[in-house]
């Protein structure tokens, strides 16, 4: 029976769990795409990466399949491009901080 509103891939969750010792303490940026920007899926992944001892930045990029992807592929609006820049800025800063803690 199909399950609607699946926000994560169980195989990917298991894979992240199995690589946990080698990846613990790394910085993670989350990007979601879907009809509603995959907001619920990203929130679900925040719990998963926290459980795997990873550090997720606060910023996230939520892309809509209706407005964030065009005929030529990924084509974010100006607002989304600014959000992506913020996500990368936070990710670089956090990666630098956690690198000193290893």
DSSP letters of 9-26? -HHHHHHHHHTHHHHTT-
Q: What is the mean pLDDT of residues 45-56?
A: 88
Domain interval for residue 68: 10-101
Does 54 reside within a domain?
Answer: yes
The verdict on residue 72 lying in a domain is yes
Q: Is residue 66 part of a domain?
A: yes
In a domain? residue 38:
yes
Positions of E strands within the chain: 27-34, 55-64, 69-70, 73-74
Q: Is residue 2 one of the residues assigned to a domain?
A: no
Q: Per-residue confidence at 65, pLDDT binned at 50, 70, 90?
A: confident
Give yes or no for residue 5 having a pLDDT over 60: no
Q: Is the pTM of this model over 0.85?
A: no
Q: How far out from the chain centre does Cα 16 lie? A: 13
- Residue-level pLDDT at 79: 82
Does residue 24 lie within any of the structural domains? yes
Asked if residue 1 is part of any domain, the answer here is no
Dist CA 57 CA 28 (whole Å): 6
Query: DSSP code of 56?
Result: E
What is the domain count for the chain? 1
Is 3 domain-assigned?
A: no
């Amino acid at each position: 029976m199909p399950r609607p509103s699946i926000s994560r891939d169980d195989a990917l969750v298991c894979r992240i769990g199995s690589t946990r010792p080698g990846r613990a303490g790394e910085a993670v940026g989350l990007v979601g795409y879907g009809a509603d920007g995959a907001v619920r899926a990203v929130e679900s992944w925040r719990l998963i990466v926290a459980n795997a001892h990873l550090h997720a930045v606060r910023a996230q990029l939520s892309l809509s399949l209706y407005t964030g992807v065009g005929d030529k592929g990924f084509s974010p609006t100006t607002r989304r491009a600014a959000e992506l820049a913020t996500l990368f800025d936070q990710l670089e800063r956090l990666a630098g901080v956690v690198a000193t803690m290893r």
